[in-house]
Structure 1
Amino acid sequence: MTQSVLSNHLKIKTMINSYSDSFTKAELKVANVVNERTEEILYFSVTELAEAASVADATVLRFCRKIRFKGYQDFKLALAQDLSAQKQFNVEETGADDYISHFFQNIHYTIEECKNLITKEVLDEAIAIISEAKSLYFFGVGTSGITALDAKSRLMRIGKRADAISDPHFQSMLAATLTEKDVVIGLSVSGSTKDIIDSLTFAKNNGAKIIAITNYAKSPITKIADLVLLTSGKELPLEGGSIFAKMSQLFIIDLICIGLGIQDEEKTKRMKEKTAKAVINKIL
């Protein structure tokens, strides 16, 4: 058991070593970063790994394909599986920790880190853009699509109309109809979700303002966005839908709602009362 776990952990590095003679000088730089900073790589976007290795994004993709992976995300998934196997080995050797306390500490750390990433000037600018928007849309797919629906609900309760679009086809069609008076908030933990990038690009080309909520300052979504709000709670490839990443997104959305509410406290209070009364009879 122990031997198989350790062998699995060494799989990626073994593959890298076996192909090392065929690497170009640039690809070898990527290999060195992966070997030296293995756990960090799990939280790197393509661009961040490329910068760490002082190479182009395309070099990272060639490196992944050379060691028989379809792309960067496929490579990171395999790397996560290797490290997960190693962690399982450590648990078998040392015993499981108090997972309740560990989970709580992670929640506390996530919110604290998210708070430290926020720049009030940028947040205020985002709130001003949203406040002036003729139409406001949240774009997200997968679990970020669920967060988009939550954001729509929270804004509705304070009297701010917004829509949440999680289907990539509808996102693209809607994006084609937007103007400079509209605002799209793109939600993507990785900042490199292809469907979101494509939809936001359409919206941007039609003049819409783009606000990105993402974990990665250097990712494709930030190149499109007019404004970036950074989140914490980074998730591993094996942890899609991580509650820490979702909490971080919701933390930012709540701050936006609070900021909007402060602009007109009387209206916000009135709308909260009206929306509460509208659903009170539905509670048994």
Structure 2
Amino acid sequence: MTSSIRLIIKTMYKNLSQKEQAIADYILENPKKVSHSSISDIASELEVADSTIFQFTKKIGYNGFKDFKMAMLMQENDLSAISFHENIQKDDTELTMAQKVFDSNISSLTDTRKLLQEEKLIEAVDLIDASNRLFLFGVGGSEIVATDTYHKFLRSPIPVYHSSDYHLQLMEASLLTPDDCAIFISHTGRSKETIMIAETAKKIGAKTIVITSQISSPLAKLGDVTFISVSEETEFRSEALASRISQLSIMDSLFVILMFRNQDQAQESISKVRKVIAKIKD
């Protein structure tokens, strides 16, 4: 397993049981200690059975505790480098608060970039490029990401559609065809509205791309291709808000790859947009 243990835990955390979250917290807070401890040592420290620790390592993708411990030793620097810069304190100066917000965004982008896989990027752009129409779906805060993506893809050679109203989105989903591609954005991957839209699209046979922060969420499982955005919740700043910049960057990446793949058509589309916009600018 090449993915960072820290990132795996962060993307699965909300889907872990309370006991499993306690194990996850202990691992993230004591990486060096865990990597040099036996399964019995950790179980005793957490007052759980050895089998509970073993099953936890299986759940996050390892063959067992020995496989997990080997990965811990190999990734010790990554785990020890966990930064707590996002914990803004009341007595921080305004500049320090702003810097911590920037640091948190940088951390989200860095973590999300580590999870990117070239084959998934290629597959996603293949689906978009081969589609007759591209539809964007998201509700609440995710609708903002969908709107921004719509604004970008209007410059692409692919016809793109997006409605901010949920009922209109549901109606659009019902009119999709197997030749269309739909992108679904949801931080938790558990939005009932977005899941219903995605299920409607899947039944019809439309191609689906999902962007979420929860790898085990119901929505993630509905994607032909699924991208994971990583973020952490801070006081006065929800995890969903922090993940937005990572989601926007994933969409930027898909857009740029698509445009370079279709340079001639892309230049023509951009030229048309710039020409009409120029008329209303000084």
Secondary structure at the aligned position of 1:165 is classed as coil
Question: In structure 2, which of residues 100, 103, 121 is the aligned counterpart of residue 102 of structure 1?
Answer: 100
Contact 1:171 1:199 in 2 (8 A): yes
> Separation in 2 of the partners of 1:278 and 1:39?
57
> Separation in 1 of the partners of 2:190 and 2:132?
27
**Mapping 1:198-277, distance limit 5 Å:** 198-235=196-233, 239-240=237-238, 242-277=240-275
User: Which digits, 9 at most, give the CA deviation of each residue in 1:124-150, with x for residues without a partner?
Assistant: 100000011111100000111111111
Contact 2:231 2:239 in 1 (8 A): no
Contact 1:168 1:199 in 2 (8 A): no
Q: In the superposition, relative to structure 1, how do residues 274 and 132 fare at CA in structure 2: closer, same or farther (>3 Å)?
A: same
**Mapping 1:52-201, distance limit 5 Å:** 91=89, 95-96=91-92, 98-201=96-199
Shift in Å, 1:172: 2.0
User: Which digits, 9 at most, give the CA deviation of each residue in 1:173-231, with x for residues without a partner?
Assistant: 22222221111100001111110001110111111111101111111101211110121
Secondary structure at the aligned position of 1:148 is classed as helix
Q: Which moved more, 1:104-113 or 1:141-150?
A: 104-113
Q: Which moved more, 1:169-178 or 1:237-246?
A: 237-246
Secondary structure at the aligned position of 2:127 is classed as helix
> Separation in 1 of the partners of 2:176 and 2:135?
10
Secondary structure at the aligned position of 1:228 is classed as strand
Q: In the superposition, relative to structure 1, how do residues 273 and 245 fare at CA in structure 2: closer, same or farther (>3 Å)?
A: same
Residue 32 of structure 1 pairs with residue 25 of structure 2: no
Secondary structure at the aligned position of 1:220 is classed as coil
Shift in Å, 1:110: 1.6
Contact 2:141 2:241 in 1 (8 A): no
The code of the aligned residue for 2:201 comes to A
Gaps of at least 5 residues in structure 1 are 1-28, 41-50, 56-86
Contact 1:142 1:166 in 2 (8 A): no
> Separation in 2 of the partners of 1:257 and 1:141?
21
> Separation in 2 of the partners of 1:107 and 1:214?
16
Q: In the superposition, relative to structure 1, how do residues 31 and 140 fare at CA in structure 2: closer, same or farther (>3 Å)?
A: closer
Gaps of at least 5 residues in structure 2 are 1-15, 28-54, 60-86
User: Structure 1 length normalisation: TM-score?
Assistant: 0.66
Corresponding residue pairs, total: 212
Secondary structure at the aligned position of 1:217 is classed as coil
